[in-house]
Chains A and B, each alone.
Chain A
């Protein structure tokens, strides 16, 4: 074109077609959309050649919905779009329409997936597997053109592909297919590898042998896994209990009990290496008893001292020599037992390594579960789809009681009303005055809470100094309980004070309230525990110079744990039972108290922190924690069923689980790990008890061993080398940190880029959708026009030609 396109459309005055006067007909748009014009012409010609028969009924229905602009879908009486039969036929063969009950489409889709799987010979990445159930046209091989193949042939191809997968992958594929069970069984039977085929492969004998071996190994491990799983389910008889809790109170309360179960698993993981490598060995080779053991009085269960002191429970019992050594060199304090074939067992080294390895395993497991939970909760580029998520994902299918489901109905209704109200409120911006006022109240409440925390911390510090100065000895057992009592009282009372103060401030969202409450309680507990740690490692080590301070610290932690358990029981009794009785007497509308999920979870995390802090000084502490958690489960469950009701505010259960496990990892486990590292690296162990009594620091046991290895000979020289250049020197740590930081930064940039791409794709998607509607409507118009012209032609040949030519006048 020599001159530039003039983007001014001439809308012709055509009184015969009133609906077209608003915008140009397709034939007028040739100046603007050249290719589109061609397409329409082609379609019309193709349709004319096919000679589609339009029914008169469809004509009537189509004519009804003919009014309306092109932007909206043509609507019939029920609100569903009404199209002519020809349009419907074309629409029915759109790729997106073939999903649904159509088995053929599902089979094609899974065929392409198994092809990809077999080619890659590995498990599909999570991001590749079926984000969309729609078979994309790219994935269609030439052989699998849906228009050509019958469903049976597609099934045959799928079966062949399934045969090429390993057994585990095939089972995984089968289970994930959205087909009915009978069809899956057919596929499974057909895709079993026929027995004769395996022997026919002569040339690839070795490969087939290896793959057969691998298959049988995988099958065996799969079966073993199933047996273990069913065994584990039999061990944990909580299936029905959890089902009842979930059924009556919903997923949010259930998340507390699931967290309890997780903590049980962590403690078991921690306890097993300790039991195997430290406790059992030392129990088999007991040291010589130093003096008579005191009689058992009931107070030992609370204080952990008395007759418990010189047992495997505490650090002081463990010997600092090599156990089971052959009688060549004299043992100090041990009997010479010439056991044939006994291995010498270096106790200090074993103690250090076992505690270190147990902590390391716990760390890895925690970080893994936290990152997995995090990955499920947060998505890149996710904008808020609150209404859609409330409508589709908020009904909890686990709920089984009538009144619980009524509560859910009420919750969802309230939530939807709140969302609608929020939407309207957002359109009206709040006044600056109100915001300032709210900010001031918020600041005041935070100041009060932090002030309370400071007061509690000072109280604990002063009391601990008082206890040191009053020189409490081991005889006055009862007085030892004073410090744990004070700590537990503060831990119980301060959160109630925080709750009272929180009534003053009014947050926009209930979730924010919960997060703020968790934050405040967490700060309180962290500060108190920090002061206690300073008290133990900083002050007690000094004052108990010629006694076994590690035993003392272990006993302190035991006392704290027991007191904590007692106070939790009291809190459950007072907080829930008594409140229910009071509120029933007053017959208020409020009824039963709500189960305080955040407070209870923080209690669990606090108890777990105490366990982790005390593992070094009392290896059997995880066993105490396990017993405590088991009791707690049943007590909390009974109290919940009898006294409480479900929380009124809806909770995002999975976000909460992520938050819980992150809290378990970051302040709790990290703090315990720091405490442990400080105790191992910096503090001088006591000189009269324990496996490290002759050393300057506990870590020296490792150094002594490395020096011993160096002297041993050139065979194991790589270990000392590793120790000198990788562990002792600081350079590898700097290098590793720098690399890690670089990797993190790169990942952040990649995520930013992905977000941008997601925005672009969303825009493109909405544009394509608009195009689709536009094209469908144009198609509909073409068919209508054709039908009208045919009707015009067939009605009467006597028709005046003026009307006929008017139809085609728009050219």
Chain B
């Protein structure tokens, strides 16, 4: 495996390899996926750190994300300005966190940010209602949705302040062994 690629310098690839959970080959594969999203926009030479952002509409149309009800939140959380438009760094970061080698704490942190729709660092009742509605595609009645949210708060809210803080969320994730296998996107 020699340095036949001309997209990144050797140092850049090393840096990506050290800061994400991907190997060199996977990083190159991800770069080509990113480039395929917007071939006119993304240059084939990243040695000069070009400032290129792929708009959210293209990111959200990726086959891995297009049927995910939370794709908009995922893109917003990982994008630089919270608007869903992602640079290559954001793109790599997103798939690194969602890969199977990321530790539970890191995933729990980002999962919390994804489910926190109003970005107030707490998952309040409104956030929960949004989550449940998106999960069930609006097919539960409003009464059932509020009942579910009430039960969720009963179970997970440790300090009884009416909303979930990051610690409550992490404690609840610890009890869910499925979290690592479901919060995982293969690319």
Contacts and interface: CB of A to CB of B under 8 A. Distances in A.
B172 to A, nearest CB: 5
Given A181-B20, A181-B93, A396-B182, A134 B172 contact: no
A96 interface: yes
Interface string A396-412: 11111110110001001
B167 A182 contact: no
B172 A400 contact: no
B32 interface: no
Contacts of B180: 376, 654
A402 B67 contact: yes
Given A99-B166, A182-B89, A392 B115 contact: yes
Contacts of B135: 391, 394-395, 409, 412-413
A36 B140 CA distance: 46
Interface in B67-90: 67-70, 80, 89-90
B58 interface: no
Contacts of B66: 400
Contact of B148 (A97, A246, A420): A420
A377 B159 contact: no
Interface stretch (A380-388, A438-446, A558-566): A380-388
Given A385-B175, A388-B152, A176 B105 contact: yes
A389 B178 contact: yes
B32 to A, nearest CB: 15
Contacts of B177: 376-379, 652, 654-655
A388 B112 CA distance: 13
A260 interface: no
Interface in B1-51: 1, 15-21, 23-25
A134 B168 CA distance: 11
Contacts of A405: 67-69
A398 B178 contact: no
Interface residues of A, number: 84
Contacts of A423: 151
Contacts of A755: none
B89 A181 contact: yes
Contacts of A45: none
A134 B162 contact: no
Interface in A174-196: 174-178, 180-182, 184-185, 188-189
B159 A392 contact: no
Interface stretch (A73-81, A515-523, A801-809): A73-81
B53 interface: no
B155 A385 contact: yes
A195 to B, nearest CB: 15
Interface string A240-257: 001100110001000000
B18 A766 contact: no
A150 interface: no
A412 B136 contact: yes
A80 B124 CA distance: 8
Interface string A653-683: 1110000000000000000000000000000
A170 B37 CA distance: 33
Given A132-B170, A188-B18, A246-B186, A653 B181 contact: yes
A349 to B, nearest CB: 43
A556 B55 CA distance: 64
B111 to A, nearest CB: 7
Contacts of A742: none
A393 interface: yes
Contacts of A180: 80, 89-90, 93
Given A387-B155, A769-B159, A395 B125 contact: no
Nearest to A229: B23
Contacts of A13: none
Main secondary structure of the interface of B (DSSP, over half): helix
B40 to A, nearest CB: 24
B151 to A, nearest CB: 4
A614 to B, nearest CB: 34
Nearest to A373: B177
A133 B106 CA distance: 10
Interface string B149-182: 0011001111111100111011111111111111
Nearest to B132: A391
A769 B132 contact: no
A385 B153 CA distance: 10
B19 A174 contact: yes
A268 B13 CA distance: 34
Nearest to A382: B175
Interface residues of B, number: 81
A769 B161 contact: yes
A405 B137 CA distance: 11
B128 to A, nearest CB: 7
B73 to A, nearest CB: 12
Nearest to B101: A175
A32 to B, nearest CB: 22
Contacts of A766: 158-160
Interface in A357-388: 376-379, 382-388
Given A180-B93, A246-B186, A766-B159, A389 B176 contact: yes
Contacts of B59: none
Among A132, A176, A178, A230, find the residue whose CB has the most chain B CB atoms closer than 10 A. Answer: A178
A391 B67 contact: no
Given A176-B106, A654-B181, A188 B15 contact: yes
Interface string A682-710: 00000000000000000000000000000
Interface in A632-654: 652-654
A136 B122 CA distance: 18
Nearest to A773: B161
Contacts of A230: 1, 23-25
A728 interface: no
B139 interface: yes
B110 interface: yes
A132 B109 CA distance: 10
A288 B91 CA distance: 66
B130 to A, nearest CB: 11
A395 B182 contact: yes
A130 B107 CA distance: 12
Contacts of A307: none
Interface in B104-146: 105-106, 109-111, 115, 119-121, 124-126, 128, 131-132, 135-137, 139-140, 144
A123 interface: no
Contacts of A399: 67-68
Contacts of B92: 181
A19 interface: no
A78 B167 contact: no
A239 B23 CA distance: 15
B15 A393 contact: no
A385 B156 contact: yes
17 contacts: A78-B126, A131-B105, A188-B19, A227-B1, A239-B186, A379-B174, A383-B155, A383-B175, A388-B172, A391-B128, A401-B67, A409-B135, A416-B136, A417-B140, A417-B144, A652-B177, A653-B181
Interface of B: 1, 15-21, 23-25, 63-64, 66-70, 80, 89-90, 92-93, 96, 98, 102-103, 105-106, 109-111, 115, 119-121, 124-126, 128, 131-132, 135-137, 139-140, 144, 147-148, 151-152, 155-162, 165-167, 169-186
Given A251-B178, A382-B174, A769-B158, 20 more contacts: A131-B174, A132-B167, A133-B166, A180-B93, A181-B96, A226-B17, A230-B1, A247-B186, A378-B177, A383-B175, A388-B155, A388-B156, A389-B172, A389-B178, A394-B178, A412-B136, A653-B181, A655-B177, A762-B158, A773-B161
Nearest 7 pairs between A and B by C-beta?
Answer: A769-B159, A100-B121, A405-B67, A181-B89, A387-B151, A385-B155, A769-B160
Interface of A: 73, 78-80, 96-97, 99-101, 129-134, 171, 174-178, 180-182, 184-185, 188-189, 226-227, 229-230, 239, 242-243, 246-247, 251, 376-379, 382-389, 391-402, 404-405, 409, 412-413, 416-417, 419-420, 423, 652-655, 762, 765-766, 768-770, 772-773
